[in-house]
Structure 1
Amino acid sequence: MTTSVTAYAAPAPKAPLEKTTVERRALREHDILIEIAYAGICHSDIHQAREEWGSAQFPMVPGHEIAGVVAEVGPGVTKYAVGDRVGVGCFVDSCRECANCLAGEEQFCLKGEVQTYNGTEYDGAPTYGGYSTHIVVDENYALRIPEGISLDIAAPLLCAGITLYSPLAHWNAGPGKKVAIVGLGGLGHMGVKIAHAMGAEVTVLSQTLRKKDDGLRLGADHFYATGDDSTFTELAGTFDLIVNTTSANLPLDGYLSLLKVDGTLVHVGAPENPSAFSQFSLIMGRRSMAGSKIGSIRETQEMLDFCAEHGLGAEIEVINGDQINEAYDRVVSSDVRYRFVIDIASLNA
């Protein structure tokens, strides 16, 4: 039997989110029921609720930065018990049979992983995300939140944390490496923290110096304004790795010029429009340009354990459910430092 739970949903593209109820499925053999404590607001929630990334499904309950506690388990569950602290990230299932799933890279499932929201289960049912009091997921797609990270600052790690951890780990950020993080927002601030904890020399590249004090406090060694043309001259050929967290169309040739020979520019933000660059920006330094998409279940657990070990969590502003629409506008205006997190208990107020 399904269960009705309270949620906030966008009833149509660009419509304000409103309180409603959605149905959660009855527990299958390997399912767990999670009582959600906190859900982070990711900019991708806004893009999808406002249908800025193409056709979407409505009503939509966004939210893929979910932290809570196991409230019930299916009869075959072995990984979790009632009372365990758990999280859910950007996807809740994958085919488990393709080469990528078998290699432990479920985020690149060839059949298409099942998105936590604005997606469709393999049986055709729509998925609803974390702006709700409860969610049901297969135990194999839940993450254990270590003791030592409170659930509110852990929630954004399930997207923002892994989105930055994955490229930093893959491209070997660490001692002796010079890493630049483009943008100090919900993603970028976690990139600074994680790259610093990995032992890299970290530089923030931001439009202005407005957030310089924050950047240095979070672990950056240097902070430069990209609005100042001299930055590109001064830093030419400096970095082993640049991670671009923005969803703006940047002058890519300028950023590529900041890489050393064999350096890599990795994009984790997705602009609405295509970007252009000259191939000579790659050719002249044997440079690479790449993209990175969240991480696997294994790597996401690795990230959570790493954050617990180093005392890392997101910088957050906790809000109630009735503040979601205001929060969306503030995110678009870059008026948050650095992640809104919804107190899900407020949905029942």
Structure 2
Amino acid sequence: MLTSAERPVSDLGEDDLVLPFAVTPLDIRGRVVRLGPSVDRILKQHGYPDAVSRLVGEAAALTALLGSALKIEGRFQLQTKTDGVVDMLVVDFDAPDRLRAFARFDAERLATVGARQAPAELLGHGHLALTIDQGADMSRYQGVVPLEGQGLEAAAHQYFAQSEQIPTLVRLAVAQNVTGAGTDWRAGGLLAQFLPESEDRRRQVDLDPGDAPEGFVRAAPDDDSWSEAKALAATAEDHELVDPTLSSERLLFRLFHERGVRVFEPQPLRDACRCSQERIAGMLRSFSRTERQDMIGPDGRIGVTCEFCGTHRAFDPADFDPLQ
């Protein structure tokens, strides 16, 4: 049975929402994210090739799943730096609801390797950094995961196993032109975590193999509840995560109806950049007069274009150095 103490169950597929849920009999808590117009606008404003758009869409869905855990304020950032075709990928989530993203890629290399490469193949080797910044009064936290040819799903699993030590399953999906009515992009994701009250039940395998022979990998048996939860959650198919006619509630019902799943108040999302005239002006004031002189263009103004939203702003150098 699917229940919610805070709102009626919906059969309507809604976009740009994160829906928290819990499967109490299995000690599972998680979130489902559906991105529609927000991720479509992010991808279209950059005009990325399809292969790059799919990678950015996956990153946006993963960032929304993780960043939405921030309760009131703060910033969550996903960033990759690699030797791949996409050598940099940045997605910001500003609590409670703002999402923005951009990718830097080598168009010539992409043309050489083929535009149909899987997202993991575009990343190559390097690292993935996940940063949580909850403001000046809180410590900044960053977890780093090596990227060695795996995709974002696998990297997320590695992050939770090593940094958070919480048994976690992540599913990500991206699709284009799902309804056949256009080229709109969609992205979706599912995160399920095993959070029993007993710490012993959620304990991960000891990473130190002790006196075992080199190369030996010791596997810890899964808790029965977590094994069942993983098996159920893993049945979520890509098309279900992006289907605009399937509500997140009904998806959760399909996965966990035998055990019972409870949903909570959904969290809306929107694509929005934090850049502004005032922010950029403040950034320019942090440079020396000589540095600003080097930024002046042929038109006699300092031009700055935001990498995230593409907005171009021009500034009069005299606003910073009135005596020049």
TM-score (norm 2): 0.25
Give the TM-score of the pair, scaled to structure 1.
0.23
Which structure would you say has the larger Rg? 2
